[in-house]
Chain A
């Protein structure tokens, strides 16, 4: 194994650069492209770089592969697709020489006149796109499609196959008969060539057309604009021009129609082109259909979308705070039950579909996760704590980006799968690989509308059909519908138009998005309005510190744009239980209130504080003590406390037979408010514990860095690989069948030698997956059976096991 050539793959030549005399190939053309152009290719078709191809040959093979081409076809718009079909139709290598279509041919066939400014030339732009995607490559000034397109698009522009393809499938005798009748004097090598060459001349085809009657012309007219196949009985009949009885016979005899099945006749491409008068498309879709819809002002769109964004943040925050205390259960299939979803919807003041979307989005953003116990629970993650502290626009961006990338479709919640099982939110069956693309398509298309325009659903659908005609399917349509609705709920759109802050997000510019969104979101406040009816109104979102303190000392009564808190004895006691003093609480209220603190509220705090802790209960032997004998008197005198077995020990101390917890509970239920006491006589303070799950694996992209950076790195790797594959090298002989270990020994010596001299060497290597790869490395040391070397292919220092090194070669000067 001394090189990594891939014989049989199209366009690849074993380890050498293009020689001047050789016809160009896709590989040689790609190799000649600049790094920037290759980077652009890998950016536009990122799947080509996963994994990074070993060299340009492998890149070309992958780029021309069936599945890779199918994927990229989905991204083309209708016009570019029409141009591509033109290249396929005219540049088919089975058409007569010269192979390929010139841009001028294409312009004529499409009926596009070149505009005065070349930059505005839609055809040139489309061709650039196709070249950039490596779907089309130039061969001496003529454009040729990648081979596989011939099979993927068998009827480009609804034209039939070229004559050569049709004739090749016919019995030899039939072809000979045609050749004899059409071009008896031909000098071509084979009968197929004879017929094909003859009919590649449009004038000749016209001549033949003139020989048939109008009935035959009507038949042809029916096939001219496609589909190019017609059905007839006994298609493989034998006829000659002068014995033709019917119009069909006349056409078959002149090769104007050729059989492709027992009862199918096909119009050859050459004939179809003549019949169309050289034009490929009757309805050229040069531009997308114009948008239809409602004009909104930028301000109203921004208000509506920011409003939704804010609502989403608040709802998610509320739900996760709620789950901190009362988590939802994880179903056996990993999802969340209907009842929990309903409760989540209640907590968030919303309906269930919206709740499902928000829950899924929060999971995608890594804010919730299941703890790994059996019968586990959905809990906020530690990420949530960080998220909660970040500014609102960042919080929204985290959710929005997660949604854009997530392949889960919340809209499928509560639908049934093919087995009749209901799909649960967070459960299996909600994954749709096409979802992220559908979302990008919808938002991208909305982004192409004039700012503030809210297109109708039909108009958007028509645009998408033009933009990506090959995506259309029932699933895609469904995903597009879901994406539109979900984008509105999440605040990526407002009133049906794209929000300004979404534009930068689509380009991956989170800072830009944050910059636009921040001013539209309500700013966190640090004050509330206190009122005489024991409520506090926070007229907007509060800074999180204040929000948490207030939630401790008062009950939340309603939420929304504002939050209404109500102070009750219970809520004040909760704050006291958590260790706040009456003075702290009053100071907090004074500091943050825009209005005077009502006297009644001061009294509530001080009264509650005065009573708080007046009764103290201990567990050592379960006692109650109180500085005021009358309180204990009251307690002991209470008929209802008989079951507590109270014994008065001293004017200020009462003991109980119950354990402390039961005692405290019973006393509270009787309307007393004892505070539990620890061994040293200090108060035991309690506050509800909040619970967290471990960070969740959200299945998000494992790669870091931007797409551009990744693509550039990939190009570097391909170039280096190419160098490795095509470098001229002098192999260091390794014994094939020497003593065990002698190969490794020889390799080790060669490598140590190179390390000492600081030379670069080529190595052949069997990687851990058993693949044969080649690398150019700069060895730095060899020891312990491992080679440590700078791998120029990957641009990093690596360790290679010497026993896996299959070949070592010294590098000579590369051939030019």
Chain B
């Protein structure tokens, strides 16, 4: 019995406990996207995009078909194999090439395909003058849009036009007292070989280091886009620590400061800021001849930046994320505009290898008091989630959890400021929220990192990119409705491997039989699909000390 089952909707089910599972995983990874990785059976999906990426990476249909036949437990339906071969065959019929005389050109040896594409309504306005029977001119600024549109009509173009070299700038990794991990090296090299793309690594697995390694490999001026100012400072600190870059070489481009240096770190917020209807800071993209653009937390990429990115196709682009799930379903745009997924590692694999801390996820179900239930029942629909998520009954439970983990670095995370303030007062812990000044935030984070502060109450400002290595316990009291990636990112805050190797604890405090519970189920889905099984505990038992 082999370990792979091929489904008719082109998903692949891999039994992970099987002896040959690892071999099989390596064989199918190039052409199938890992979709879910729960305990026993992982689900991969064969998509046209994945097949074309495999072609781009030098795999051919024969290898794909062979891998499926070799590992499949049941015979693979012939129609599916034929479909795979046909899909892969569509790649490369069209090529985008840089011609020294004619500029950027879309060319094809298959005239019929070119004719179809030239006449396609979706491509109107993206193609320029017809040069001859087998080629059409393309305006360089349409390169990204055209590639995206060609994907949609099913004739992906092989982009051979290459990248601008950008302004060279020497960056070297300074591996003093630390070492680039195997997978980080692999990810950086996988990216560099492809020129652009997305690296998916769990929180705490060191994505910044992958970024630094990619910068070192590229050796050019670099623009780094991050989520917020605290993150700007963390990147800066990391780069100073990990690379040969000096303070003078790294600029910060945020609301407060507008420095443009060989390596410039900017926030999405400032890039997306508009003044009188125009993007005021768009020129940053052209301020220098950037050789590399890094998108941190690429799953949060806001729509305006998407549009700007379409015009940056000639520059190398690196996307970094832990959770490529978007509630707006625009994962596909990330791949087509930033680039294909170059590296992906299941969370549990990283945990097994010790790169991230093992985590124990607990859902604590709190019964609302009779009066709270009544109040919840009569609340306006738009206020109901807020009401149950921030109910007072949770406070006692949170206090009990924090008490139990006394001595450990504990984060209490929530979405509603009133609730957080109340908890802060009750726990005698400082609260970091949107209105907290950056300076104050950093002071508190530093104190927390140093261990002077045991408990910190944070709002969603700390969802991402905040590096708190020693945080071992997180208590989530409320969230942004059913956001899957928020849940994962919050768990990520406690996944940095601990000095003593202890496991991280993640508590989600949920009001029973309310919207809170429904959203919690949805929020947990991403993590459940990564193999994190939530334990459900009754708050009553917890308070009574039975657990």
Contacts and interface: CB of A to CB of B under 8 A. Distances in A.
A637 B535 CA distance: 34
Interface in A620-654: 630-631, 633-635, 637-640
B377 A533 contact: no
A600 B534 contact: yes
Contacts of B78: 304, 307-308, 488
Residue from B6, B36, B43, B77 whose CB has the most chain A CB atoms within 10 Å: B77
Given A354-B79, A561-B72, A600-B536, A533 B13 contact: no
A351 B8 CA distance: 12
B528 A533 contact: yes
B253 interface: no
B75 A595 contact: no
B40 A595 contact: yes
B74 A558 contact: no
Nearest to A315: B8
A230 B397 CA distance: 111
B309 to A, nearest CB: 32
Interface in B8-40: 8-9, 11, 13, 15, 36, 38-40
A34 B9 CA distance: 61
A729 interface: no
B36 A558 contact: no
A600 B41 contact: no
Contacts of A640: 381
Interface in A525-570: 529, 531-535, 537, 539-540, 558-562, 564
A533 B374 CA distance: 32
Contacts of A533: 36, 38, 525, 528-529
A561 B377 CA distance: 46
- Say what secondary structure dominates the interface of chain B: mixed
Contacts of A603: 536
A560 B72 CA distance: 12
B42 to A, nearest CB: 10
Contacts of A638: 377-378
Given A531-B40, A532-B534, A611 B76 contact: no
Given A529-B40, A529-B41, A630-B374, A562 B534 contact: no
Interface in A69-102: none
A637 B378 CA distance: 5
Interface in B350-389: 363, 370, 373-374, 376-378, 380-381
A598 B361 CA distance: 13
Contacts of A311: 8, 77
Contacts of A633: 374, 377-378
A532 B528 contact: yes
A561 B5 contact: yes
Interface string A303-324: 1101110110000000000000
B8 A559 contact: yes
Given A311-B77, A349-B9, A539-B5, A599 B374 contact: no
Given A349-B8, A559-B8, A562-B5, A532 B532 contact: yes
A529 B42 CA distance: 12
A639 B513 CA distance: 20
A600 B529 CA distance: 13
Contacts of A308: 75, 77-78
A562 B377 contact: no
Interface string B153-190: 00000000000000000000000000000000000000
Given A533-B525, A560-B8, A611 B513 contact: yes
A307 B75 contact: yes
Nearest to B531: A532
A595 B39 contact: yes
A350 B363 CA distance: 42
Contact of B7 (A307, A535, A562, A600): A562
A105 to B, nearest CB: 53
B263 to A, nearest CB: 40
A434 B534 CA distance: 64
Residue from A311, A531, A561, A631 whose CB has the most chain B CB atoms within 10 Å: A561
A587 B106 CA distance: 62
Contacts of A611: 513
A111 interface: no
B533 interface: yes
A556 to B, nearest CB: 11
A306 B77 CA distance: 10
B378 A539 contact: no
A561 B533 contact: no
B372 to A, nearest CB: 10
Contacts of B376: 634
A522 interface: yes
Nearest to B529: A533
B39 A534 contact: no
B428 to A, nearest CB: 34
A310 B75 contact: yes
A558 B35 CA distance: 13
Contacts of A635: 377
A637 B380 CA distance: 10
A599 B538 CA distance: 13
B5 A600 contact: no
B18 to A, nearest CB: 10
Contacts of B36: 533, 535
B73 interface: yes
A193 B9 CA distance: 81
A307 B77 contact: yes
B36 to A, nearest CB: 6
A457 to B, nearest CB: 16
A532 B13 CA distance: 16
A505 B76 CA distance: 24
Contacts of A600: 363, 528, 533-534, 536
Given A304-B78, A310-B75, A564 B378 contact: no
B532 A599 contact: no
B13 to A, nearest CB: 5
Interface in A339-391: 349-351, 354
Interface string B67-84: 000001111111100000
Given A349-B9, A535-B38, A561-B5, A307 B74 contact: yes
A628 to B, nearest CB: 9
Contact of B74 (A310, A350, A529): A310
A157 B155 CA distance: 58
A497 to B, nearest CB: 13
Nearest to B518: A569
A558 B76 CA distance: 15
B74 A522 contact: yes
Nearest to A351: B79
Given A303-B75, A533-B38, A634 B377 contact: yes
A529 B3 CA distance: 14
Contact of B370 (A306, A535, A607, A630): A630
A535 to B, nearest CB: 7
Contacts of A531: 38-41
Given A534-B528, A598-B533, A634-B377, A564 B7 contact: yes
A603 B538 CA distance: 11
Contacts of B11: 558, 560, 564
Interface of A: 303-304, 306-308, 310-311, 349-351, 354, 488, 522, 529, 531-535, 537, 539-540, 558-562, 564, 595, 598-600, 603, 607, 611, 630-631, 633-635, 637-640
18 contacts: A304-B78, A307-B74, A531-B39, A531-B41, A532-B533, A533-B36, A533-B38, A560-B9, A561-B5, A562-B5, A562-B13, A599-B533, A630-B370, A633-B377, A634-B373, A634-B378, A638-B377, A640-B381
Closest 5 CB pairs of A and B: A307-B75, A634-B377, A560-B7, A532-B533, A561-B74
Given A533-B528, A558-B9, A560-B9, 18 more contacts: A303-B75, A306-B75, A307-B77, A310-B74, A531-B41, A532-B528, A533-B525, A560-B7, A560-B8, A560-B11, A562-B7, A599-B534, A599-B536, A630-B370, A634-B373, A634-B377, A637-B378, A638-B377
